[in-house]
Amino acid sequence: MNEAKVIILGTFAMLLPVVAIIIFVFFYNRRQRLQREKLERIEELHRQAMLEASVATQENVRRQIGGDLHDEIGTLLSATRMSLTQITKYEDNPAKRESLLNQTEELLNETLNNVRRLSKELMPSTLDEFGLIIALKDFTEKMTEHTGVMVCFSHGELAELFDKKIELALYRTAQELVNNALKHAKASVINIQLQIKSNNLVLQISDNGIGFDLAEVNKPNRGIGIKNIESRISVIKGKIKFDIEKGRGSSFEITVAL
């Protein structure tokens, strides 16, 4: 009888670690599964936020273009049509006809200038013709001249052109981040650096400002926020890292695989 008890106890003692291991593995796998599901939910929410931000950005751009077309181009074309109609009424008055023709020509020239301006806003001519490096150099020089803030740009030995989508996304991002540094951080020096690291194109932007509140910049009525910038970068499969805090300078690093 004692021998049977010993065998039972021995068997139990041998099975106990096995049972403990099985329980441990079960709860470990369950925890890993829950963590994966949580991560997937977070990633899905992030993708949804990026999609919403992208749609909002596109909608803002469409609304702005639509407003410009209606308010400026539409008005000028209506005035041109009226001017042309008036010309037909003065067939017997050469001087008046000449005056109206000149007026119509001026209206058409102004309309063309506005169309050119809109097209430049969609794709800056410098960027389209000469590429990102020249466009950023031109942009920083103009910002320094017109704002009094030192906006510096360096690019090392880079002298090549990149994919148009990448160039436009990085150029618009640089514009927005410089604008944020001027409006919100009140920076006096802004540094922009473009370089290639491990077959990645890296854009770094930093300033010496007073910083800004991330939540404040992300408000819908405060222009394009960080989420919208993240969305723009995600379209070109890039990544953005930023160090933002109220009370000190900010820095951003955008990385895009080439």
Range(s) of the chain covered by CATH 3.30.565.10: 125-257
**Res. 223 pLDDT band, cuts 50 70 90:** very low
**Res. 10 pLDDT band, cuts 50 70 90:** low
The closest of 211, 222, 230, 176 to 49, measured between CA atoms, is: 230
State the greatest distance between any 2 C-alpha atoms of the chain, in Å, as a whole number.
Answer: 135
Average pLDDT, the chain: 79
Predicted confidence (pLDDT) at residue 206 exceeds the cutoff of 90: yes
Tell me how crowded residue 218 is: count the other CB atoms within 10 A of its CB.
15
Q: What pLDDT score does 114 carry?
A: 75
**Looking at per-residue confidence, does 134 or 226 come out higher?**
134
The closest of 254, 68, 64 to 169, measured between CA atoms, is: 254
Q: What pLDDT score does 3 carry?
A: 64
Tell me which architecture the domain covering 125-257 has in CATH: 2-Layer Sandwich (3.30)
Q: What pLDDT score does 80 carry?
A: 77
- Report yes or no: 106 and 114 within 8 Å, Cβ to Cβ: no
- How many helices (DSSP H) and strands (DSSP E) are in the chain? 8, 5
Q: What pLDDT score does 121 carry?
A: 67
Question: Which of 71-75, 127-131, 224-228 is predicted most confidently?
Answer: 127-131
Predicted confidence (pLDDT) at residue 1 exceeds the cutoff of 60: no
Residue showing tokens 């001087």: 95
Percent of the chain with pLDDT over 70: 73
**Res. 62 pLDDT band, cuts 50 70 90:** low
**Res. 47 pLDDT band, cuts 50 70 90:** low
**DSSP class of 218:** T
In order of 1, 95, 125, 211, 237, the CA distances from 87 in angstroms are 125, 11, 36, 59, 56
The CA distance from 43 to 147, in Å, is 40
Segment 107-126 mean pLDDT:
75
